Amino acid sequence: MVRTIIVLFLLSAAGLMSCSDAELARSIDGKWETSLNFTDEYGDPFVKKLIYEFDYKANGEKTGGKMTESNENIIEDNSEGIVIKCNVKSSIEGEYTVLLGDLEIMYYLPTLEVTIEDVECHLSDDADFYTSLGAEILGDEIISEMIEDELEGMKKEVYDSLYEQYEADNRGAEEEGYCYPDLEVEGDTMSFVTSDMGRMYFSREY
């Protein structure tokens, strides 16, 4: 009799938890955004925009669906007296699941894309005489080609770094059950706990 009561209790708790997970998975359907403040290797501050888009209806799963993660970083680089400022964007698709109140994400690595937009460039204030003279002699077309090479190198570096990171996240999810614990939604605010930045908060975008 006691064992029967315990089994019924556990089954009831599991059913309630499954219902709660489904409600959470449904409640994050939509677009969420946050801004993170960082400092680069030279001590200069920069802002990273992180965006999640969850589609609960995409695959009909009770506790999850499809998702897209996007990043935007305004980067400024001073290379040999030429300042390059640009917006580095990345996006990757995947799927999400809510399990026991935690957010689990698996990334589709072949969907990773990196683009560089809104490129601006000019001579730095501390550019030496030879850099200034070279820019004047070579002209805008040659300078643009040099910058293109610089941007392609930056794009490849960002892509390789992100691919390695997402690959590690997938491996952690498969082997160790890595996830973002304690998913919460209150009104237009979503939050979960991360291993390196504590609890992160996102605002719903309409």
Provide the pLDDT for residue 77.
73
Question: Which pLDDT band, with edges at 50, 70 and 90, does 151 fall under?
Answer: confident
Mean pLDDT, all residues of the chain: 80
Structure tokens at 173: 């999810």
Q: What is the dihedral of CA 157, 160, 164, 166, to 10 degrees?
A: 100
9 or 100: which leads in pLDDT: 100
Find the mean pLDDT for residues 42-55.
86
Each residue's pLDDT tens digit, 85-101: 899 999 999 999 999 99
Provide the pLDDT for residue 75.
82
Structure tokens at 204: 């719903």
> Rounded distance, CA 200 to CA 122, Å?
36
Whether the predicted pLDDT of 170 surpasses 60: yes
DSSP 183: -
Find the mean pLDDT for residues 119-148.
59
Find the mean pLDDT for residues 124-149.
57
Taking the CB of residue 201, how many other CB atoms lie within 10 A of it?
Answer: 12
Find the mean pLDDT for residues 109-137.
72
Name residue 91's beta-bridge partners: 70, 113
Decide: 162 and 90 in contact? Cβ < 8 Å.
yes
What's the predicted TM-score (pTM) here?
Answer: 0.80
